[in-house]
A and B are shown apart, each in its own frame.
Chain A
Amino acid sequence: MSALLKTGSLKMRIIWAVVLIMMCLAPLISTEFRLSLLAKFLALAILAIGLDLIWGYGGVLSLGHGVFFGLGGYAMAMYLKLQASGATLPDFMGWSGLSGLPWFWEPFRSFPVALLLGIALPALLAFALGWFTFRNRITGVYFTILTQALVLIMVTLFVGKQEWTGGTNGITGYNSIFGFTLHSAGTTIALYYITLAVLVIAYVLCRRMVNSRFGQVLEAARDGENRVRFLGYDPAGYKTLAFAFSGALAGIAGMLFVLQVGIISPSMMGIVPSIEMVLWVALGGRGTLIGAVIGAVVLNAAKTGISEAYPEGWLFVIGGLFVTVVLFMPNGIVGVYRHVVRLLKRRGESAHVQVTREKPEVY
């Protein structure tokens, strides 16, 4: 918390404090249903921050974050399912004709191990993919397509191995953690505060990261990879680490998400959710971190609202948003806000104010 308050000017610090206090007071004024929705959006915002780190600052677009999200989600769901099943085999395994628990399910009996694996598995997978691609200077579009293929094979694998993963239905049928019911009022509020705390920690960590030397090299590699290489740095290492960290954040988001909604299935880690995640960052403003949070919350709130009122329309809205954001607001909501602020300042002060250029667009 103190680290957060150290950043920025006094005005910014006050704004941050006000926002945080408002977020902390949210349970007092909102209904339980809305609070649980908000907590869900905040969990997704954690993923968006990680995605912004690698895309906005590293210049690497990943369409594979659904997989990392899903791995985290499955890790948590496996723990919950084992708890719910007790001594018996999880129900879907019985239906698929399995007689014993697969060996890799065993570690998920313990909560700390499941928690650790939910972070480590996505991070390791991201690290491996990054290691094998960035080192060979496979970047840009090639990498993006590889991540998309990763999503495709993971979904096929999770659907195909029904006896291990529950197939298309995913892992369902659990509703308590440590003896607390997941949907009771107390648990909802507790989960909300946990999610909020994790989000703030993730934000502060990433903010520190991009302001550090690490972040500067990452940004430099985005803008001119060869020059960075000529200066004696190894951009591949920086990108791989950033990608692995981003994967770990996605895994944490997945774990919190499962606690909020009580289900994880392959359709939540598929190609369409993965690319929707990218839109959160793009709409909020890539390369700003806070934009990712804004984008994730705004778009998911919009999705909830629109698909309730007009289910057919959501695809038109999201499709139109992709086109609009790319063509007209490449720096997202934060970019538009900064632009307006600058215009107002210029009008208010003198005509001689020098206009600092926007961040270069990230390709």
Chain B
Amino acid sequence: MDMFILQMFNGLSISSILLLIALGLAVTFGLMNVINMAHGELIMIGAYATYVTQNLFMSYAPAAWFGAYFIVALPIAFIVAALIGWLLEVVLIRHLYGRPLDSLLATWGVGMMLQQLARTIFGAPNVGVSSPAWLNGGLAISDGIVFPYKRIFIIALVAVVLLCMYLYIYRTSSGRRMRAVMQNRSMAGCLGISTRRVDGMTFAIGSGIAGIAGCALTLIGPIGPSLGTYYIVDAFMVVVLGGVGKLVGTVCGALGIGMFNTLFETYTSASIGKVLVFVCIVAFLQWKPRGLVAMRTRSLD
């Protein structure tokens, strides 16, 4: 039983990270019909931003302040990734709207160049980020069940980001414009919404969330130039499973994949577990080809 609870907690923790990564993808995919394969590299940028912040704190700040670096690193990771994402949108993605497969290839190229760039700047080997002291240790629920603070922190962080996204998309006028563009671009444009600006902003927000995900990943393990590629395919599966266009679909997709992955891997092995998850996803798509929660539309492609 202890084992089961612990596995469920691990599954939840993996789900939350997948959710954080898939959120940005779902937003850009749903809004602009663009597949951003460089999303993984934006995660990497967020992780390296955290690494740089840590090093700056080590060199210039008093030792007593070191514990605070992670709190500072979060917004920095968000801003750096968002800026680079925005730049990417202005220079490249803008020309690829409505051409998902082309955008997939082009952004894959960008991702490769960013990886190589990171390898040139920071070196090919992984670097470690030491997590702040206040995140070490864990919460003991009972004998044998300890929830590490780091994982709890990540789950809480994801919950906060999710809440902010919800409030932004459904409770602000800027979020309403975003939804309007998502549902009917030309009609939204006719009503005076600058779709250009909405696109740029949405892409920046999605990229910023990837940056936060990268920041969170530094708590789990060492970071390297190919950090993002480990997660990107799983994150896309979340989007496919959850369906495009609704926040709740992404949440369900992430929970489903994260939980089943952990469960299957516990009771079989890591490699067989992955196969089972894939088979389940394909089987599920037989039943709901558009994903769990799909936006209703009467359009014919």
Binding site for B on A (CB under 8 A): 61, 129, 132-133, 136-138, 140-142, 144-146, 148-150, 152-153, 156-157, 159-161, 225-226, 271, 275, 278-279, 282, 312, 315-316, 318-323, 325-327, 330, 361-363
B95 within 8 A of A: yes
CB of B115 within 8 Å of the partner chain: yes
Nearest CB to that of A325 among chain B residues?
B105
* B window 234-277: CB within 8 A of A: 234, 236-237, 239-240, 269-272, 274-275, 277
A150–B278 Cα distance when bound, in Å, is: 8
Cβ distance A73 to chain B, nearest Cβ, rounded Å: 19
Are B99 and A226 in contact, with the CB atoms below 8 A? no
- What residues of chain B lie closer than 8 Å to A156, measured between beta carbons? 270-271, 274
What 8 new A-B contacts, CB under 8 Å, besides A133-B285, A319-B111? A132-B285, A138-B285, A145-B35, A149-B281, A226-B301, A279-B105, A319-B109, A363-B101
B110 within 8 A of A: yes
Does B113 reach chain A (CB closer than 8 Å)? yes
Q: Which residue, B35, B100, B229, B282, has most C-beta atoms of chain A within 10 A?
A: B282
Given known pairs A138-B289, A271-B229, the reply for A322 and B106 (CB within 8 Å) is: yes
Tell whether A61 pairs with B101 under 8 Å between CB atoms, given A132-B286, A275-B108, A322-B106.
Answer: yes
Cβ contact within 8 Å between A312 and B116: yes
Inter-chain contacts of B102 with A (CB < 8 A): 326, 330, 361, 363
Asked if A153 meets B274 with Cβ closer than 8 Å, knowing A136-B286, A322-B112, the reply is: yes
Contact, CB under 8 Å: B101 / A226: no
Q: Which residue on B lies nearest to A162, using beta carbons?
A: B271
Checking A141, A282, A319 against B113 with a beta-carbon cut-off of 8 angstroms, the contacting residue is A319
CA A326 to CA B113, docked complex, whole Å: 15
Contact A144 B282 (CB under 8 A): no
30 sampled A-B residue pairs with Cβ under 8 A: A141-B100, A141-B101, A144-B35, A145-B35, A145-B239, A145-B240, A146-B240, A148-B233, A148-B236, A149-B233, A149-B278, A149-B281, A160-B270, A160-B271, A161-B271, A271-B229, A271-B233, A275-B108, A316-B112, A316-B113, A316-B116, A319-B108, A319-B109, A319-B112, A319-B113, A320-B113, A323-B109, A362-B101, A363-B100, A363-B102
Complex-state Cα separation, A363 to B301, whole angstroms: 12
| Interface of A: prevailing SS | helix
User: Within the assembled complex, what's the spacing in Å between the Cα atoms of A320 and B277?
Assistant: 34
How far, in angstroms, from A235 to B234 measured CA to CA in the complex? 29
In the complex, A226→B300 CA distance in Å?
Answer: 8
Chain B interfacial residues counted at CB < 8 A = 45
Q: Are the C-beta atoms of A146 and B282 separated by less than 8 Å?
A: yes
Residue B293, interface by CB 8 Å: no
Q: Is the CB of A326 within 8 A of B96?
A: yes
**What residues on A are CB-neighbors of B237 within 8 Å?**
145, 149
Q: Are B240 and A132 in contact (CB under 8 A)?
A: no
Report which of A153, A279, A319 forms a contact with B278, defined as CB distance below 8 A.
Answer: A153
Whether B110 contacts A319 by the Cβ 8 Å rule is yes
Are B116 and A145 neighbours in the complex by a CB distance under 8 Å?
Answer: no
Complex contacts, B270 vs chain A, CB 8 Å: 156, 160
Nearest residue in A to B38 (C-beta to C-beta)? A319
The answer to whether A321 touches B282 (Cβ under 8 A) is no
Counting CB contacts under 8 A, is B104 at the interface? yes
Residues facing A in B205-254 (CB within 8 A) are 229, 233-234, 236-237, 239-240
Q: Are A157 and B274 touching (Cβ within 8 A)?
A: yes
**Quick check: is B142 within 8 A (CB to CB) of the other chain?**
no
B120 proximal to A (CB < 8 A): yes
Given contacts A156-B270, A160-B270, A315-B112, contact A322 B275 (CB under 8 A): no
Q: Which residue of B lies closest to A63 (CB)?
A: B104
- Of listed A138, A153, A326, residue having the most chain B CB within 10 A: A326
Q: In whole angstroms, how far apart are the Cα atoms of A157 and B274 in the complex?
A: 8
Which of A146, A315, A330, A361 counts the most chain B CB atoms within 10 A? A315
Bound form: Cα–Cα A335–B18 in Å: 40
Q: B residues within 8 A CB of A363?
A: 99-102
Give Cα A316 to B277, complex, Å.
34
Chain B nearest CB, measured from A130 CB (Å):
11
> In the bound complex, how far is the Cα of B233 from the Cα of A326, in angstroms?
22
Q: Which residues of B contact A160 (CB under 8 A)?
A: 269-272
Alpha-carbon separation in the docked complex, A338 to B100 (Å): 26
Residues of B within 8 A of A142 (CB): 240, 285
With A132-B282, A133-B282, A141-B100 as known contacts, state yes or no: A320 contacts B271, CB within 8 Å.
Answer: no
Closest Cβ–Cβ distance, residue B264 to chain A (whole Å): 12
Are the CB atoms of B282 and A322 closer together than 8 Å?
no
* Residues on A with beta carbons closer than 8 Å to the beta carbon of B103: 326
CA separation between A57 and B194, bound complex, in Å? 37
Q: How far is the CA of A322 from the CA of B116 in the complex (A)?
A: 15
Contact A320 B275 (CB under 8 A): no
Q: Give bound CA distance, A153 to B237, whole Å.
A: 12
Judge whether A323 and B120 touch: CB under 8 Å: no
